[in-house]
Amino acid sequence: MAANLAALRSKVELALAGRVAAPFTYRDRKTVTTVSTGIPEIDSLTGGLPRGALTEIFGPPCSGRTSLLLSALGARSAQEEACALIDGADAFDPHSAEAAGVDLRKLLWVRCKNIEQTLCATDLLLQGGGFGFIAVDLSDISPRLVRHVPLESWFRFRRAVEDTPTILVLLEQESNAKTCASLGLRLESEGARWARTIPTPDADFVRHSLIWLLGGLSARGEVSRSRGQKTGEVYSGDGFAPGIASDREGIFTTRTDWDYLSWSRQNQNRQKI
Amino acid sequence: MSFASIHVPNFMVQAVLRGEPQLRDRAIALVEGAPPLVRVVAATEAALRAGIQLGMAKLQAQLCGVEIRPRSRTQEKAAHAALLDLGWSISPRIEDHAPETIIVDVAGLASLFGSHENIAHEIVQRAAGLGLLVHLAIAANLETAVQAARGFPGITLIPAGEEEKCLSSLPVRALSPSVEALETLDRWGIRTCKELAALPVLELSERLGQEGVRLHELARGASTRSIVLAEPCELMEEEMELEDSVEDLEPLSFLLGRLLDQMCTRLAARSLAAAAIRLKFELGDLFEKDFQVLAENVPANFASGEDARKIYKKVLQLPVPMRDSKMLLRLLRLQLQADPPPGDIVKITLAADPARPRSTQGGLFVPGSPNPEKLELTVARLAKLVGNANIGSPELVDTNRPGEFRMTRFVPETNETGFRRRNRIARKKAAAGATASGANSEGALGKPMTGCRIFRPSVPAAVELREGCPAKVFFRGLCGRVVAASGPWRTSGDWWRENSWHQDEWDLEIEFYIANAGAGGAAGLYCVYYDSDCRGWFVRGVYD
């Protein structure tokens, strides 16, 4: 019996020679380090953004994708990590980014004109290495075009960041990376919040008796894919707790805040008429 | 005191061979002069064996079957600069004695290199690295070292007190006497320094004057003088004149690679690196039409002045000083691919701004950042892909104009001290912020800011007003009903300029009539403004 087993083992090893180095060698479970997104609700839902993996954040416009991205960029740049944003449609707003706490000096912004440039730029940046956070923003590119990106491109991106401390985040309207993404997060809009302001003496109340301010927007997130959860990989938190992905229904609500906008408007000498 | 004299024999030929190492095994003769009086001024040993004689006419030299090259003063200048760099790489005290000879004060270098023999071998080895084959002599007497280096091949070590004995076999010609003095000595049958040193100095003075006394002292190794220190030059330059003009990037890269190799070797010899590379091309004759195009399109790369139109300049600013010639070549190639020189190149000048090499110590608590050299290459490749203006770090501009920013160079800081300092400041700020926010409201703390996506350029829109408020919005082929609105927020500025602005801004929540409007979203939150100057409505961006 033992001889048969040994023969079978050697046969398998021989068949896999050149492709698999040691098929019967036990491999330790991979430890995945995750980092905070800067939004506690998302952190408790997903366990954070995994390093050395591809994270896919998708959803329709106004679903909070950009707010989440800016929050993550702010958290990473605050930790002095070099960040890169490959902007597929040149839609990044440095003003709201700075208001969200992004250290713009730590951010390399690549303003692309089409999807080909975006994918090529991503390849170049991943080859260069050394970045702690790389975001590929395809949100404003038509989903029909993004759907035509071959799966091997996402696979290549995933392999490029494997075993590196880089967090690769993909922003789009629909999920396309499929199994190449270690974490998939679907976002949906829950509507806008409006706040009533206190009337000020310089306001023209004849025309607008009620003055409203945009208070923010609400978004709902749902984990569509989490490799860590399914395979039971060990997460180790980095600067936030808890580090384990939530087993709850996977729905969270986050609200954005518009204080910075009113502040900037006040500081820009805008007049309410 | 000990002095090392470094002499480059056959300097004119070696200067050419340094620039073109592939010619080392060939028989080369260098010619100079205005046609038809073009004469051979220098030749390699192989060429001399083939029958070449100095002073021979170019036509006669061509009959000997050797390769004829013009004398290159630019390459001689570069070779002389390399020789000086060699000296400074050994000692800060050097004398620029002649184009082909320098003197280095080697006193006190024993602790660094060991014995004089070790110093000599080190110098010869470094000279070979710079593409120069040198003769070297070390002596306590400065002039003796110079004469020995010029007269004897290889390495000559002269112990103190044995100068006369060592120079005895040296021909008198090596002392560089005047033609008259040499003829006189020749008539007397004086051929070597030993014979010259044996003559009585008084009688020699009576017949040859002060020159006789000087030659006598040199022959005895008794001439004394102080070293005249040379000042280190701040600019490092390599030049190459091309016999045949170059237009394509491939052969140009080959030449640039060679110049960069030489430059980086010189930088390494002085423990320096390049903070910037300045490239200058002298272009061949261009047609008048080409000049017009140049003047209109790329004036920044061309020097001003009458003849300056033929000069093409390019500056490669480096984020950190570097001296990796291959990396520098890749960066230069990328720059030239993006903005190629508009004509044939007849002369290349490569200059480096020397700086101290980057010395950083990695820290355990410093987050990893891209390698600066590698990052520069990546950024250059990306710039080639998306354009120089579309890559970098955004920087907000001190203005009230909406959406104004500028792009700056992306330079991640990897300094551990700076990292710790900033961390400390951030912690203090966070503590102060927590205290203040605790006093104000607990709801605002921890909530993320709403992101905004900008449409560049702004999308024209048609807006239907009801009682001064937007009620319906049409843009990008979509029609939507305004559910909620905030505004107008009026901004204006720069009225004294042509590009003044005057806008009424609205935050609108729009519900589109089409179910799949906005690629999946039936409602959206947009920033819309009325431009009073253009008298039109535009959509600035969407809140996401």
Residue A74 belongs to some domain of the structure = yes
**Backbone phi, psi, residue B38, to 5°:** -90, 120
| Overall average pLDDT of the A165-192 stretch | 89
CB contact under 8 A, B369 and A82: yes
* Structure tokens belonging to residue B534: 């253009």
Residue B390 belongs to some domain of the structure = no
Q: What is the CATH number of the domain that holds B139?
A: 3.30.70.270
Residue in A closest to B374 by C-alpha: A128
Residue B391 belongs to some domain of the structure = no
pLDDT in tens, A189-238: 887 777 766 555 554 433 443 467 777 788 888 888 887 654 333 333 33
Residue A44 belongs to some domain of the structure = yes
Minimum mean pLDDT range among A41-45, A64-68, B14-18, B153-157:
A41-45
Q: What is the CATH number of the domain that holds B256?
A: 3.30.1490.100
> Does A258 score more than 60 pLDDT?
no
d(CA B375, CA A128) in angstroms, rounded, equals 6
> Does A48 score more than 60 pLDDT?
yes
Chain A residues touching B451 at Cβ < 8 A: 64-70, 93, 96-97, 100, 256
Residue B372 belongs to some domain of the structure = no
Q: Give the nearest partner residue to B451 out of A70, A111, A131, using CB atoms.
A: A70
Q: What is the CATH number of the domain that holds A94?
A: 3.40.50.300
CB contact under 8 A, B525 and A192: yes
Q: How do the pLDDT tens digits run along chain B, 544 residues long?
A: 789 999 999 999 999 998 888 888 889 999 998 888 889 999 998 899 988 888 889 888 888 888 888 888 888 988 999 999 899 888 989 999 999 999 999 988 888 888 999 999 999 999 998 889 999 999 988 889 998 998 899 999 998 888 888 888 888 888 888 888 889 999 999 988 889 889 998 888 888 889 889 899 888 888 888 889 888 777 788 888 888 888 888 889 999 998 999 899 888 888 889 989 999 998 887 555 455 445 444 545 555 454 555 888 888 888 788 888 998 999 999 888 888 888 888 889 999 998 888 776 666 766 677 888 888 889 999 998 998 899 999 999 888 888 889 999 888 765 555 556 666 666 665 665 544 444 343 344 457 888 889 999 999 999 998 888 888 999 888 888 888 888 788 888 888 888 888 888 888 888 887 655 444 447 888 999 999 888 999 999 998 8
**Backbone phi, psi, residue B140, to 5°:** -75, -25
Dihedral (CA of B27, B32, B34, B39) sign: negative
Chain B residues touching A35 at Cβ < 8 A: none
Would an 8 Å CB–CB cutoff place A265 in contact with chain B? yes
Pairing of strands B345-355, B391-396: unpaired
Residue A16 belongs to some domain of the structure = no
User: What's the angle, vertex CA A169, arms to CA A165 and CA A173, rounded to 5?
Assistant: 170
Would an 8 Å CB–CB cutoff place A214 in contact with chain B? yes
Other C-beta atoms closer than 10 Å to the C-beta of B407 total 16
**Domain region containing B516:** 452-543
Would an 8 Å CB–CB cutoff place B467 in contact with chain A? yes
Domain total for chain A?
1
Which residue, of B220, B254, B287, is where some domain finishes? B220
CB contact under 8 A, B486 and A110: no
Secondary structure (3-state) at B222: coil
Other C-beta atoms closer than 10 Å to the C-beta of B458 total 21
Mutate to test the interface with A, among B330, B453, B542 (most CBs of A within 10 A): B453
**Domain region containing A42:** 27-190+218-257
d(CA B488, CA A223) in angstroms, rounded, equals 39
Which residue, of B324, B355, B386, is where some domain finishes? B355
Other C-beta atoms closer than 10 Å to the C-beta of A113 total 14
> Does A12 score more than 90 pLDDT?
no
Query: Are the C-beta atoms of A196 and A67 separated by less than 8 Å?
Result: no
CB contact under 8 A, B392 and A68: no
DSSP letters for A136-154: EE-TTS-HHHHHTS-HHHH
Counting Cα atoms < 13 Å in the Cβ hemisphere of B369 gives: 29
d(CA B41, CA B29) in angstroms, rounded, equals 8
Residue in B closest to A90 by C-alpha: B456
Dihedral (CA of B407, B408, B414, B419) sign: negative
How close, in Å, is residue B374 to chain A by CA atoms?
6
How close, in Å, is residue A247 to chain B by CA atoms?
23
Residue B402 belongs to some domain of the structure = no
CA separation (Å) from B396 to A103, B401, B527? Answer: 11, 11, 20
Same structural domain for residues B185 and B246?
no
pTM, entire model: 0.71
Residue B160 belongs to some domain of the structure = yes
Same structural domain for residues B147 and B212?
yes
How close, in Å, is residue B543 to chain A by CA atoms?
6
Residue B336 belongs to some domain of the structure = yes
pLDDT for res A233 = 36
Residue A88 belongs to some domain of the structure = yes
> Does A46 score more than 90 pLDDT?
no
User: What's the angle, vertex CA B486, arms to CA B481 and CA B490, rounded to 5?
Assistant: 120
Residue B414 belongs to some domain of the structure = no
Residue in A closest to B404 by C-alpha: A95
Would an 8 Å CB–CB cutoff place A39 in contact with chain B? yes
Spell out the residues 6+ positions from residue B263 whose beta carbon is closer than 8 angstroms to its own.
B236, B238, B274, B325, B350, B352
Residue B374 belongs to some domain of the structure = no
Same structural domain for residues B216 and B158?
yes
Residue A247 belongs to some domain of the structure = yes
Q: Give the nearest partner residue to B486 out of A71, A92, A212, using CB atoms.
A: A212
Chain A residues touching B426 at Cβ < 8 A: 78
d(CA B127, CA B6) in angstroms, rounded, equals 9
Secondary structure (3-state) at A202: coil
Same structural domain for residues B265 and B216?
no
Q: Which of residues 32-71 of B touch A (CB under 8 A)?
A: none
d(CA B177, CA B214) in angstroms, rounded, equals 9
d(CA A27, CA A225) in angstroms, rounded, equals 24
Helix (H) or strand (E) segment spanning residue B258? helix B249-269
CA separation (Å) from B98 to B6, B11, B79, B94, B224? Answer: 10, 11, 12, 12, 18
Query: Are the C-beta atoms of B518 and B509 separated by less than 8 Å?
Result: no
Residue A77 belongs to some domain of the structure = yes
Domain total for chain B?
3
